[in-house]
Amino acid sequence: MQALKGTHDILPEEVYKWDYMEGVIRAVCSRYGYKEIRTPIIEATELFQRGIGDTTDVVTKEMYTFKDRGDRSVTLRPENTASAVRAYLEHKMYGDQQVHKMFYIGSMFRYDRPQAGRYREFHQFGLEVLGASSPLADAEVIAMACEIFHRLGLKNLDLHLNSIGDRNCRPAYRQKLIEFFEAKKDQLCEDCRERLYKNPLRILDCKEEGCKKASEGAPEITDYLCEECHNKFEAVKHYLDALGISYTVDPRLVRGLDYYTNTAFEIQYPPLGAQSAVCGGGRYDGLVEEIGGPSTPGIGFAIGLERLLLALDMQNLIPVPAVNKKVYIAALGEDAIAAGFKIQEELRSRHVIADMDLQGRSLKGQMKQAGRMNAVYTIIIGSNELEKGKAVVKTMETGTQQELPFEEVADYIVTEETNSNRL
Q: Which domains does the chain have, with CATH numbers?
A: 12-169+225-314 (3.30.930.10), 326-418 (3.40.50.800)
Q: Which of these ranges, 112-116, 148-152, 307-311, has the smallest mean pLDDT?
A: 112-116
Q: What is the pTM of this model?
A: 0.86
Mean predicted confidence (pLDDT) in 94-123: 92
In contact, 82 and 258? CB cutoff 8 Å: no
| pLDDT digit string, tens, across residues 52-79 | 887 778 888 899 999 999 999 999 999 9
Q: Report the pLDDT value the prediction gives residue 258, as an integer from 0 to 100.
A: 65
Query: What CA–CA distance (Å, rounded) separates 390 from 370?
Result: 20
**Predicted pLDDT at 250:** 92
Cβ–Cβ < 8 Å for 110, 58: yes
- Residue 44 pairs in a beta bridge with 74
| Cβ atoms of residues 125 and 104 within 8 Å | yes
The whole-number average pLDDT for the span 134-142 is: 97
Give mean pLDDT, residues 391-417: 94
389: left (phi over 0), alpha (psi -120 to 50) or beta: left
Task: Give 160 or 195, the one with higher predicted confidence.
Answer: 160
Please state the rounded mean pLDDT for residues 260-272: 91
Residue 275 has pLDDT above 90, yes or no: no
Q: When comparing pLDDT for 51 and 14, which is higher?
A: 14
Give residue 421's pLDDT: 63
In this prediction, residues 406-422 reach a mean pLDDT of 86
